[in-house]
C-alpha cells in the first residue's frame, strides 16, 4: 500500500481537503488563504477537487459526516439556481 493512501484508498490530498472542510474559519478570505498556504492549491482548483470528492464513495466511507453535510449544501445551492 502506498504510504500516501489511507485505508479507504484516499490520497493525502483528498484527506487533507476533507480535513480542511471540517474546520471553521473566522473571517472573509481565511478559508481561501488556508487552501493556498496549506494545500498549495488555487481556490478554484480546490473547489473542483472537493466537488469531485463529494461523489467519491471512498470519501463518504472516510468521513461520512462531512461528505453528507457538504452534499446537502451543494444540493441546496443547486435547487436555488
Q: What is the CA radius of gyration of the chain?
A: 13
Q: State pTM to two decimals.
A: 0.84
How far is CA 6 from its chain centroid?
Answer: 15
The dihedral through the CA atoms of 47, 12, 35, 60 has a sign that is positive
Residue 13: all three cell numbers together: 490530498
Rounded CA-CA distance 67/50 in Å is: 10
Which residues have C-beta within 8 Å of that of residue 73, sequence separation ≥ 6?
none
User: How would you write the pLDDT of the chain (81 residues) with one tens digit per residue?
Assistant: 444 554 548 999 999 999 999 999 998 899 999 999 999 999 999 999 999 999 999 999 999 999 999 999 999 999 998
Amino acid at each position: 500500500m502506498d504510504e500516501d493512501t489511507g485505508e479507504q484508498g484516499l490520497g493525502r490530498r483528498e484527506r487533507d481537503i476533507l480535513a480542511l472542510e471540517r474546520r471553521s474559519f473566522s473571517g472573509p478570505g481565511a478559508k481561501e488563504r488556508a487552501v493556498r498556504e496549506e494545500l498549495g492549491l488555487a481556490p478554484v482548483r480546490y473547489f473542483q477537487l472537493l466537488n469531485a470528492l463529494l461523489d467519491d464513495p471512498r470519501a463518504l466511507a472516510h468521513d461520512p459526516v462531512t461528505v453528507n453535510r457538504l452534499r446537502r449544501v451543494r444540493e441546496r445551492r443547486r435547487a436555488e439556481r
